Amino acid sequence: MISMTPVLLWFRRNLRLRDNAALLAAVESGQPIIPVYVCDALDAGGASRWWLHHSLAMLESALAARGGRLVIRAGAPEDVLTELARETGATGLFYSRRYEPEARRQQQRLRKLLDEQLGIHSFDDSLLHHPRSVLTQSETPYKVFTPYWRAAAARGEPAKPRSAPDSIHFAEHSLDLLSLSDLALLPTAPDWSQGLRDSWQPGEDGALARIDALETPVKHYAEQRDRPDLDTTSRLSPHLHFGEISVREAWHAIRELQVHLESAKGAEALLRQFFWRDFSTYLLYHFPQLPSKPLRAEFEAFPWSENEEHLVAWQRGMTGYPIVDAGMRQLWETGWMHNRVRMIVASFLIKDLLIPWQEGADWFLDTLVDADLANNSAGWQWVAGCGTDAAPYFRIFNPTLQGEKFDPDGDYVRRWLPEIDRSDYPAPIVDHGDARARALEGYKSIRPG
């Protein structure tokens, strides 16, 4: 006989109803469900909080359409969920795992507090492969992407996505609830989010709309993925970050288009990005110092420059280098930046201005709508040359040549820098040739021997 005591369904980075392993398992338990979201400090960036507000609003609406109400609380998840279990008499907890260091500590504390009180059911639901499942023959983590990718790809395709449940049996309760506005996730003084509102549709429906728009990326991604002036990327990253669509559903949508369009190169190039996404989380899982410390210890001694004026000029898109400034303006306006331009602006901050990569990583975490701790940290360490699988430090992008190569007609720059041809556009804040020489001297100073 199935118990009628409730179970808690803890939503985390899986803000969707389709192909949601924790939700489907909770429904299959046959017990009435109390859906819960706990707001904590893990999504601290301003752009992330804006997105989270709207994604939760969409989830609330989807649950309400099926007769349920999302219980919103704030605080340490282990404390909040322990209290909710006591208040409701819940006998089970269902959730999807996260892999950031603090999220893993939350999960450990949660099991310590609740393991004897209720059944805990956790699921790997945001990656192609759990970080422990892809190891070298000596049972150690890979440190270079290509051999990791080959080993992970050899494990086969992800499972086909599952539909949202036909019905959800929600528990009746009289819990005190916070409203979404109580979380104060939206900017108010000032409200700088108009550009985000114009650029994005957060939530599961928005994610599905991006899936419906994948035909152009699948056709052209392989040849045009480095062109910020062209709209040929998937823009799925924030939807995947918040779990508004599963990686399985995105993967198989691309596979189906690959067959339909007979476009193998674009599809394979896009699917490879899923492995890069996994690899970033893999690095963070095995090397939890990734967000703050260089994985190559010699970079601890690099002679960085602490120049607040240069940092602010970079943040505001006022460096005098058009491709850099266009990228930083796009980021501020839309909460997103083309990946090629992310590499260019990161290289400029680190190697032209000699400002620590952590400063850039922190700025991205605050301003990106897809501010994923793993992807962001791995990307910045890659550009800085201090990660496990890193670009050589002496590979220093020339921002002028990068702009000429990847924005050949200047359309991207003109879109984000309307003043580019006016006299009030600033002169370059550093000479690239001199800056390159300084960076190479800094690199030489930390090389062994």
Q: Where residue 246 sits, what CATH number does that domain have?
A: 1.25.40.80
Cβ-contact 18, 246 below 8 angstroms: yes
261 and 343 in a common domain: no
pLDDT score at 326 = 98
| Distances 395 to 149, 178, 285, 364, 391 between C-alpha atoms, Å | 24, 51, 27, 22, 7
pLDDT band at residue 449, thresholds of 50, 70 and 90? low
pLDDT per residue over 56-113, tens digit each?
Answer: 999 999 999 999 999 999 999 999 999 999 999 999 999 999 999 999 999 999 999 9
Kindly state whether residues 149 and 103 are assigned to the same domain: no
Q: What pLDDT was estimated at residue 390?
A: 65
Per-residue pLDDT band for 177 (boundaries 50, 70, 90) equals confident
71 has which bridge partners?
Answer: 36
Q: What is the pLDDT of residue 438?
A: 95
What average pLDDT does this structure show over 154-168?
Answer: 96
**Regarding beta strands 7-11 and 119-123, do their DSSP bridges make them parallel or antiparallel, or are they unpaired?**
unpaired
Give the mean model confidence (pLDDT) for residues 154-180. 94
Tell me: do 265 and 301 sit in the same domain. Answer: no
In terms of domains, do 22 and 137 share one?
no
In a domain, 359, yes or no: yes
Burial class of residue 420, CB neighbours in 10 A (0-12, 13-18, 19+): middle
Task: Please determine, for residue 117, whether its predicted confidence score (pLDDT) is greater than 90.
Answer: no
CATH number at residue 394: 1.10.579.10
pLDDT of residue 115: 83
Packing angle of the helix pair 339-347, 399-406 (nearest 10 deg): 170
Domain check: are 332 and 360 in the same one? yes
Mean pLDDT for the stretch of residues 35-50: 92
Mean pLDDT of 328-346: 97
Does one domain contain both 113 and 143?
A: no
**92-96: strand order across its sheet:** 71-74, 33-39, 7-11, 92-96, 119-123
Question: 139 and 105 in one domain?
Answer: no
Mean pLDDT rounded to a whole number for the chain: 94
Q: Does 238 fall in a domain?
A: yes
Give domain status of residue 353, yes or no: yes
Q: How many CB atoms lie within 10 A of CB 212?
A: 9
Single out the residue of 398, 280, 296 nearest to residue 344, CA to CA: 398
**Residues 423, 425, 428: CA angle, nearest 5 degrees:** 120
3-class DSSP state for residue 120? strand
- Residue 426: left if φ>0, alpha if ψ -120 to 50, beta else—which one? beta
Question: Which residue, 101, 125, 149, sits at the end of a domain?
Answer: 125
The first and second tokens of residue 278, run together, are 């996994």
**391 falls in which pLDDT band (50, 70, 90)?**
low
Q: What is the extent of the structural domain holding 81?
A: 7-125
Q: Is residue 175 part of a domain?
A: no
Residue in the structure block whose two tokens are 């118990």: 3
The residue out of 286, 312, 337 marking a domain boundary is: 286
- The residue-averaged pLDDT of 317-329 equals 98
Q: Residue 189 falls within a domain, yes or no?
A: no
Mark whether 141 and 273 lie in a shared domain. yes
Q: Residue 80 belongs to a domain with what CATH number?
A: 3.40.50.620
Q: Residue 224: what residue type?
A: Q
Please tell me whether the overall predicted TM-score, pTM, comes out greater than 0.85 for this model.
yes
Q: Convert the pLDDT of each residue in 228-275 to its tens digit.
A: 999 999 999 999 999 999 999 999 999 999 988 876 788 999 999 999
Q: Tell me whether residue 186 is in a domain.
A: no
Q: Is the pLDDT of residue 1 over 60?
A: no
Residues 110 and 151 occupy one common structural domain: no
pLDDT confidence of residue 366: 97
Instruction: Tell me: do 270 and 132 sit in the same domain.
Output: yes
- Residue 135 sits in the same domain as residue 259: yes
- Specify the range with the lowest mean pLDDT, choosing from 344-358, 370-384, 385-399, 431-445: 385-399
Q: Which amino acid is at 122?
A: S
Q: Decide if 192 is inside a domain.
A: no
User: Residue 394's pLDDT is what?
Assistant: 75
Q: Residue 152: count other Cβ atoms within 10 Å of its Cβ.
A: 21
- Same domain, yes or no, for 399 and 413? yes
Structural domain contains residue 419: yes
Average pLDDT over residues 416-433: 95
In the chain, the number of structural domains is 3
% of the chain surpassing 70 pLDDT = 98
Least confident window among 264-268, 342-346, 388-392: 388-392
The whole-number pLDDT of residue 309 equals 98
Which helix (H) or strand (E) segment holds residue 64: the answer is helix 46-64
The reported pLDDT for the residue numbered 244 is: 98
Q: Alpha helix locations (H) across 76-159?
A: 77-88, 101-114, 145-153
- Residue whose C-alpha is closest to residue 115's, from 85, 74, 75, 87: 85
Which SS3 state, helix, strand or coil, does residue 188 take?
A: coil
Measured distance between the N- and C-terminal CA atoms of the chain, rounded to whole angstroms: 71
136 closest CA partner among 388, 417, 418, 311: 388
Q: How does pLDDT run across 275-305, given as a tens digit for each residue?
A: 999 999 999 999 999 999 999 989 999 999 9
Q: Which residues in 236-253 are b (16+ Cβ under 10 Å) and which e?
A: bbbbbbbbbbbbbbbbbb
